[in-house]
Amino acid sequence: MSNETRKVETRSKLAIKKVDGKLRIYVGVNQKPGSRTVELVQKVTTKSYYKSKQYNDNLQDSLVAEEEFDAPEKEFSSTQTRVAWIQVPSKYSDQDIVNMVNGLPEDACIARTLSYHPILTEGQAKAIASPELDFNLDQVAESQVVRDKQGNIALHNGFIQYKKNLFFKTAKADMDKRDAENVYQPDFLMEEINGAVVYDDMQNV
């Protein structure tokens, strides 16, 4: 039984990331011709409130609801910085792009999607299916796998999980698509988790 009473999330206004005072608007590796990449950032602060004491339990009925005890709340706060990458035409100047970002609605956001399977765009799915392109699901998995602050793979319910941040011009709730019926746990990530080589049984090694 959780004694969390409420959760409040606040998001800062979207901005273009700066590194050493310079805007992160650039031509990336394998950038599509005629375009540049803009790196957007947003800070998301989550405050969770819990009753300092819990009086009822899950084994029996109670005479009164938990909130009737008027126990004081405890607050726990966490802040994360989310990043999303958007392509813009090369003909747009840095100032043009700054003006566009500054002109976004106040509730423009970077929403987070979590899944046990790599999160694919339509273009990525087509590229993986094409025998003519050197692109596969493992490449997406490697870029999206969730890691903790120490850089270790962070499991959820025993499964590898993947994360993708997505830009929206208006408010969008985070999406949790972690489904135990749709998982992807490639050998190269399992090897990292287990600290040992994972062999294919057919190799008989």
How far apart are alpha carbons 160 and 115 in whole angstroms?
9
- Summarize pLDDT for 146-171 with one digit per residue, the tens: 998 888 999 999 999 999 999 999 99
Nearest to 90 by CA among 35, 26, 27: 35
Question: What number of other Cβ atoms are within 10 A of residue 84's Cβ?
Answer: 20
How far apart are alpha carbons 13 and 9 in whole angstroms?
13
Domain assignments of the chain as residue spans, ordered by start: 1-104, 105-205
Residue 201 has, within 13 A of its CA and on its CB side, a CA count of 0
Query: Which residue would you say has higher pLDDT here, 164 or 69?
Result: 164
- List all residues 6 or more positions away from 45 whose beta carbon is below 8 Å from its beta carbon: 9, 10, 11, 77, 78, 79
2 pLDDT band, cuts 50/70/90, is low
- List all residues 6 or more positions away from 73 whose beta carbon is below 8 Å from its beta carbon: 5, 49, 50, 51, 52
Structure tokens, 131: 């025998």
Identify any residues that bridge with 84 across adjacent strands, giving them in sequence order.
Answer: 40
pLDDT, residue 7, reads 87
Global confidence as pTM? 0.81
> What is the maximum alpha-carbon separation in the chain?
68
Query: Which residue would you say has higher pLDDT here, 65 or 15?
Result: 15
90 pLDDT band, cuts 50/70/90, is very high
3 pLDDT band, cuts 50/70/90, is low
Structure tokens, 115: 């899944």
Query: Which residue would you say has higher pLDDT here, 51 or 87?
Result: 87
Question: What number of other Cβ atoms are within 10 A of residue 114's Cβ?
Answer: 17
- Summarize pLDDT for 47-68 with one digit per residue, the tens: 998 888 888 888 999 999 887 8
Query: What single-letter DSSP state applies at residue 140?
Result: H
Whether the CB-CB separation of 49 and 75 falls below 8 Å is answered with yes
